[in-house]
Structure 1
Amino acid sequence: MTGDAIRMDGKVAIITGGAGGIGAATARLMTARGARVVIADIAADRAASLAAELPGAVAIALDLEQEASIEALIAQTVAQLGRLDVLHNNAALLELEVARHDGDIEHMTTALWDRTYAVNVRGTMIACRAALPHMVQTRGCIVNTVSNLALQGHVIQSAYSSSKAAVIQMTRAIAASHGHLGVRCNAVAPGMTMTPALRAAFPPALRKVVEDETLRDQLGDPEDIAEAVAFLASDAARNMTGQVLVCDGGAASHVPGISGFRSFFSGDQA
């Protein structure tokens, strides 16, 4: 492996949810490494604004609840840019009102559950299905954004976390079915990441709870996750497929209650 394996020169990458947060950071990083990026987002104006900043970037409006919109994204990308090498399925249902009502199963509404799965699982599946024939041609790769919550139980976000667990299994299924055709499929599982959407959805007190359980001295930024995504999308990760790369500052790696133990043994408690 050479030092250039991390580069993405000549590659075309679609980033869903690319107008903000992790998606925007990934678009900037992939562009810096030589890729032409397609910024696909339901926020069409923000996508166009970001695309205008990045050499060779294209903005395409995307509604993951609409099958035709997803299929048009893939078709338009190939028609306009000639190929498709990377599909980063990053978009998810993160509306503030949805997050506030995504609690435990006993109090879950069917409508919220169904919409979460429609966007996070069904939308991702349709994007992969439409992209795979083109990926076979380019020996491309798919990187799905999931969550460390897909690997743990929690008292909140039951719909979100279980939908992301479904995407992990989809990741493995695609890796198994298309690996011999030259297509890789991996997932990156962020922990709490300091995006604008997260700042709006989670008050400081709740963020502090997660921060105390993080092994780093701070929560991750979108650029931290972008680095993991760009690695998985590059030839540097050519021997990785069907994997979940957890990028959560170590929050999921330790026994529960580590912050209390840390405080006790540092002498903060009697």
Structure 2
Amino acid sequence: MRGLKGKRIVIAGGATGIGAATAERLAEEGASVAVGDINLAGAEATVKGITEAGGTAVAIGFDLGDETSIQELVYRAATDFGGVDGLFNVGADLSPDTLGRDTDLLDMDPAVWRRTHDVNLLGYALTCRAVLPHLLGQGGG
């Protein structure tokens, strides 16, 4: 990853794992990163590591299954950094309420399936929709 100095990137799901590692790498390359996650303590820990290494980052609590929360994530990132240049969608609901509970159709709990759909599919589309006006307004990202 090169050419990211001064870019402003939203990480949707950056508290741990691939999201945290990507946030750290983007910051190493000079990007400012908005680390969004439902796990705010984890997002704050990721941001602490980035800022201690000299990077620029902000932690924002948000729920990938809630449209208002998604809009607030992007708004905060754009406000804090003066715009948005990119999005890295990596969030998923890995809570005990959903993980491994999307069983066969005879035993399914529709609430688990709805939550999984809202986070893992619809949430990705909604974050893209929230970021696109910023990218289009500035001629790209």
| Fold in common (TM above 0.5) | yes
Q: Which runs of 5+ in 2 are unaligned?
A: none
Query: Does the 8 Å contact 2:97/2:112 carry over to 1?
Result: no
**Is the aligned partner of 1:139 residue 2:133?**
no
Q: Which amino acid aligns with 2:140?
A: R
Between the two proteins, the alignment pairs up a number of residues equal to: 136
Asked if the contact 1:84–1:138 (Cα under 8 Å) also holds between the matched residues in 2, the reply is no
Q: Deviations over 1:229-260 (max 9, x none)?
A: xxxxxxxxxxxxxxxxxxxxxxxxxxxxxxxx
Between structure 1 and structure 2, the one with the greater Rg is 1
- Structural mapping, 1:162-177, within 5 Å: none
> Once the two structures are superposed, what CA deviation does each residue of 1:32-82 show, in whole Å capped at 9, x if it has no partner?
111111100111122112212211111111112222111011111111101
- Counterpart secondary structure, 1:107: coil
Provide the C-alpha distance between the structure 2 equivalents of 1:30 and 1:138, rounded to a whole number of angstroms: 21
- After superposition, the CA RMSD in angstroms is 1.6
1:83–1:138 CA contact under 8 A, matched in 2: no
Of 41, 44, 50, the match for 2:40: 44
Q: Is the 8 A contact 1:12 1:85 kept in 2?
A: yes
CA distance in 1, matches of 2:16, 2:2: 23
Q: State the alpha-carbon separation in 2 of the partners of residues 97 and 129 from structure 1.
A: 27
1:79–1:59: structure 2 CA closer, same or farther, 3 Å change rule?
same
Q: TM-score, normalised by structure 2?
A: 0.88
CA contact (8 A) 2:38 2:61 kept: yes
Q: Is structure 2 residue 17 aligned with structure 1 residue 16?
A: no
Residue 32 (structure 1) aligns with = 28
Contact 1:65/1:118, CA 8 A, preserved across alignment: yes
What is the distance in 2 between the residues matched to 1:56 and 1:65?
27
Residues 127-166 of structure 1 deviation map (CA, whole Å, 9 limit, x = unaligned): 11111100112512xxxxxxxxxxxxxxxxxxxxxxxxxx
1 or 2 for the larger relative contact order (CA 8 Å, sep ≥6)?
A: 2
Cα distance in 2 for residues equivalent to 1:138 and 1:11: 14
| Partners of 2:83 and 2:127 in 1: CA distance | 15
Percent identity over the alignment is 39
Normalised TM-score (structure 1): 0.48
Higher helix share: 1
Matched, 1:122 2:118: no
Query: Where does the alignment leave 5 or more consecutive residues of structure 1 unmatched?
Result: 141-270
